[in-house]
A and B are shown apart, each in its own frame.
Chain A
């Protein structure tokens, strides 16, 4: 039950994009087509999952040394290095996955949502706190899944909207931002789910 709650919380209640407003850049930038949005989403799930494990371990190390306040700088270092290594490994051993993720993998290095999940994992923020390594990993993966849901929804809407007659001043980004805000309002309603 606890894990179920954690998954629901990560995907919907604390949805990274629509409820916590993290990772807005790729959310708006890569949501023109559903297939690129899916690629971006998968890359985020992947990196968030792996980053959660490693940052959780690093946090233990920081606590041991009594320097928790350095977590931001340490986490950025870890995430950046991790993404680079993952990219190299994928390029060598899984070229098809590498080309599928394409440019999105290095893009995620500087994505605040990934740093967000790493820091929120070890803080007490949220309805369900993630305290163990497994919980931390699950939170990372399903936060990524929440990001994927949000970006896929927006990409689907934008694909349909491209065919509609939108008033000229609203074409392009303005109508996208309005759409995103309405989606955000809808997602805030999930806040009532866990009381």
Chain B
């Protein structure tokens, strides 16, 4: 009571009372409004929204997870567009919506390991991203398929999972990547590829030229189009298309023979 000596007890009473009444009035009004003004919404929207990743990455092309959930329920969007959602959550959404969903987990890789190993065509001094550079004669690299290294993928990545390293080409950090797929759209060379999450190998080159002379003139690490990988694959999982190996991951057993045989070492093994 020492602290309160000299304080009119009525003041304490009044302040408590006024604030209590204020809070009560507003609380009641809010509760009333919440009931009376509630907008009828398809309850599935909330359920679908709960099962989404909540990263609001925008990889699906919608403004955020809320907008995507609404589009899914309205039948405008495919559930599979959300790649950041886990397999079991996707399944749950499929059950809510009564549709079959593809729950196969994926990962993103960059199909180029040229960077500083690929020769330059000119020195670029303009406004900085891959798209603007690509407008100028297809970019600064002599290889018209390779990574330009200006980081358009980095700009759009919501989790900073893809970055252009010291080697001059983009690299995906699997730990950070939520496989939303924004970089797939952002890359003017379409080098970011979606492959199954359990893939053991991938092709880190997109050069369609054939033969040591042509390829080595522009890139030290480019695919020569020799087809040794296809010939050596015990499962016949590799097919040469446009002088590039295409891996059929449903057949691949991950033996790694192709990566060992590749003279250019542009078929890479994935450790994790």
Contact = CB atoms under 8 A, between A and B. Distances in A.
Nearest to A171: B128
A70 B33 contact: no
Contact of A84 (B17, B22, B30): B30
Contacts, number: 47
Of the four ranges (under 10, 10 to 19, 20 to 34, 35 or more), the interface on chain A belongs to: 20 to 34
Nearest to B17: A65
A81 B26 contact: yes
A169 to B, nearest CB: 14
A73 B23 CA distance: 11
B127 interface: yes
Nearest to A80: B26
Nearest to B125: A165
B136 interface: no
B197 interface: no
A158 B142 CA distance: 35
B19 A66 contact: no
Nearest to A62: B18
Contacts of A81: 26-27, 29-30
Nearest to B18: A65
Nearest to B63: A102
A91 B34 CA distance: 11
Contact of A66 (B14, B27, B29, B34): B14
Given A84-B30, A88-B33, A89-B37, A74 B14 contact: no
B22 A65 contact: no
A85 interface: yes
A1 interface: no
A89 B32 CA distance: 12
A67 B26 contact: no
Nearest to A92: B37
B11 interface: yes
Given A67-B11, A67-B14, A163-B127, A85 B33 contact: yes
Contact of A78 (B11, B17, B18, B22): B22
A58 interface: yes
A172 B18 CA distance: 47
Interface string A82-99: 001100110110000000
A62 B15 CA distance: 9
A66 B15 CA distance: 8
Of the four ranges (under 10, 10 to 19, 20 to 34, 35 or more), the interface on chain B belongs to: 10 to 19
B26 A70 contact: no
B241 interface: no
A134 interface: no
Given A70-B15, A165-B127, A91 B37 contact: yes
Contacts of B26: 77-78, 81
Contacts of A74: 18-19, 22
A65 B18 CA distance: 8
A130 B61 CA distance: 48
B133 to A, nearest CB: 14
A85 B17 CA distance: 23
24 contacts: A65-B17, A65-B18, A67-B11, A67-B15, A70-B19, A73-B19, A74-B18, A77-B22, A77-B26, A78-B22, A78-B26, A81-B26, A81-B27, A81-B29, A81-B30, A84-B30, A85-B30, A85-B33, A88-B33, A88-B34, A89-B33, A91-B37, A91-B39, A163-B127
Interface of B: 11, 14-15, 17-19, 22-23, 26-27, 29-30, 33-34, 37-39, 127
Given A70-B18, A77-B26, 4 more contacts: A65-B17, A67-B14, A81-B26, A92-B39
6 nearest interchain CB pairs?
A81-B26, A92-B37, A67-B15, A88-B37, A65-B14, A88-B33
